[in-house]
Amino acid sequence: MRRKFTAAFVLVIFLMVISLETTSVSSSQDLFHYYIEHFRQDTGAGNAVTAIYLNYRLFDTFFETLLLLVSVIAIIYFSRHEGDF
């Protein structure tokens, strides 16, 4: 029962992530031009890559790092407790 619940939970999360992918090419190009033209005024950074990575995409970067950390912890846990679950 626990495995079915876990599989269903993972499937729901996967479908939610896929459904969030709504960026079109034209809006990506508009966003690209906005970042290039306004990064100094918006963030005060001297480099566009730094402005995008640390200011515009801060939460995205933080949650990607958090997801990686949780994945590594899960792999370590499951590899040490093979028959316990």
Q: Report d(CA 84, CA 59) in Å as an integer.
A: 35
pTM listed for this prediction:
0.44
3-class secondary structure for 3-53? HHHHHHHHHHHHHHHHHCCCCCHHHHHHHHHHHHHHHHHHHCCCCHHHHHH
71 pLDDT above the threshold of 90: yes
Q: What is the CA radius of gyration of the chain?
A: 19
16-68 confidence digits (pLDDT tens): 776 665 544 457 778 888 888 888 888 888 888 888 877 777 788 888 899 99
